[in-house]
Amino acid sequence: MTDRPHPILIIVAALVYVFLMVPLVIVVGAALSDTTYLTFPPQGLSLRWFTNIFEISAFRRTIVTSLQIAFLGTFLALVIGIPAAYALNRYRVELPRWLGTLFVLPILVPEIVFGFALLKSLTVGAGVPIFVALLIGHTLLVLPYVVRVISASLASFDFSIEEAAISLGSAPLKTFFTIVLPNVRAGMIAAFILAFITSLNDVSVSLFLTGPGISTLPIQILAHVEQFFDPTVASVSVLLMFLTVAVMAVVERTLGLTFLAK
């Protein structure tokens, strides 16, 4: 193309990217500092703050809880979300339009209101254990991502393939598992990753669903930052960034990252 953007626009875009990247670099630098307070550039290189994470029992516990909730919540969301996404595409004509909107609601309503509502009705109102309420909250929180991503990959699926399989004598349920699911595998991977990351990073829903002995990692980080200003949180942040990089590498190899830009 001959129409290159105006130099001023290119400079602005470059500055925006600097703005996006620099804070993350600073966090990494601060995590490597040998000092007991947060500083940048790091003074003396050390990994002691990384080992410190695991010496604080609250971090150990919340990391485990966060991973449990993220895995279970994502799994449950896939279990109820995949059939829903399938139904929305396969029975597009028969099902009402508002049903699709319903599955977007968890990201449409303010997350913090959702968390508060769960606290009020489940934990306080119905005496549901905190862990279960947390799991329910996270399952619903990631459901929209699952339904949307699976729907997107089903949108290009030719349902006459399924009919062909059934006409060849395959039972409908078996056809779903042998024909439909393998064709949306890429979508399932993407949905899993997006949901897992969303759950792991969530603050607003988890905020109200913590209690004695149960909290998630982001909530623990918040609490820690408000009391101590040492590089431990920077180290946890770096660990989370590593996880993000690993996830992005997986996505890149399976789907190509531009998939996430839709």
Partner 1 sequence: MPLKGAAGWALSAPATLAVIGFLLVPIGIVIAGTFMDPRGIFAPYISYFNSGFRTTVLFRTLQIAALTTIISLVFGFMTAYVVSRAPARLRSLLIIAAVFPLLTGVVVRAFAWLIILGRNGILNNTLIALGLTNEPLEMLYTQGAVIVGMVYLFVPLMVLSLVGVLENIPRDVLQASSSLGASPVATFWQVLLPLAVPGLIVGAVLVFTGSFTAYATPQLLGGERQTVLATLLHQRAMVSFDWVGASTIAAIMTVITISVVLVMTNLARRINPMAT
Partner 2 sequence: MTQPLDINAVSAHYGTTKVLEDLSLSVQAGELVSLLGASGCGKTTTLRLIAGFLTPSSGSIRLGGRDLTQLPPHRRDIGLVFQNYALFPHLSVLDNVSFGLKQRGVPPAERRKRAMGMLERVGLAPLADRAPGALSGGQKQRVALARALVIEPPLLMFDEPLSNLDAKLRVDMRVEIRELQRANGTTSVYVTHDQEEAFSISDRVAIMNAGRLMQFDRPETLYRQPANTFVARFVGFENIVPFKVVARDAEVVTAETSGMRIRLSQTAYGPIPDTFLLASRPDGLQVTTDLSAKGLPATLGLRTYLGRAYQYQCETAAGHLVANGSLTAPLESGTQVRLVPAPEQSCILATEGGR
Contact 260, 250 (CB under 8 A): no
The neighbour count for residue 42, using CB atoms within 10 Å, is: 18
Contact 216, 65 (CB under 8 A): yes
CB of 4 to partner 2, least distance (A): 11
CB of 2 to partner 2, least distance (A): 6
Does the footprint of partner 2 cover residue 5 (CB under 8 A)?
Answer: no
**Please, which of residues 21-40 interact with partner 1 by CB under 8 A?**
21, 23-24, 26-27, 30, 37-40
Binds partner 1 by CB under 8 A, chosen from 58, 64, 102, 155: 102
Does the footprint of partner 2 cover residue 2 (CB under 8 A)?
Answer: yes
Binds partner 1 by CB under 8 A, chosen from 32, 119, 184, 191: 119
**Please, which of residues 134-193 interact with partner 1 by CB under 8 A?**
136-137, 139-140, 143, 147
Residues 201-240, mask of contacts with partner 1 (x by CB under 8 A): x-xx--xx---------x--xx--x---x---xx--x--x
* Cβ-based neighbours of 20, under 8 Å, separated by 6 or more: none
Written as one string, the DSSP assignment of 17-46 is HHHHHHHHHHHHHHHTB-SSS--SS-SSB-
With CB under 5 to 8 Å by kind, the binding choice for 132 among partner 1, partner 2, none is: none
Distances (CA, A) of 1 to 4, 5, 239: 7, 10, 41
Does the footprint of partner 1 cover residue 88 (CB under 8 A)?
Answer: yes
Of the two residues 5 and 182, which places its CB atom closer to partner 2 in the complex?
5
Binds partner 1 by CB under 8 A, chosen from 121, 156, 178, 254: 121
Does the footprint of partner 2 cover residue 227 (CB under 8 A)?
Answer: no
Does the footprint of partner 1 cover residue 261 (CB under 8 A)?
Answer: yes
Q: Quote the CA–CA distance of 83 and 33 in Å, as a whole number.
A: 49
Written as one string, the DSSP assignment of 124-157 is IIS---HHHHHHHHHHHHHHHHHHHHHHHHHHT-
Does the footprint of partner 1 cover residue 5 (CB under 8 A)?
Answer: yes
Distances (CA, A) of 44 to 24, 49, 88, 107, 192: 19, 12, 57, 43, 39
Residues 43-72, mask of contacts with partner 1 (x by CB under 8 A): ------------------------------
54: helix, coil or strand? helix
Binding residues for partner 2 (CB under 8 A): 1-3
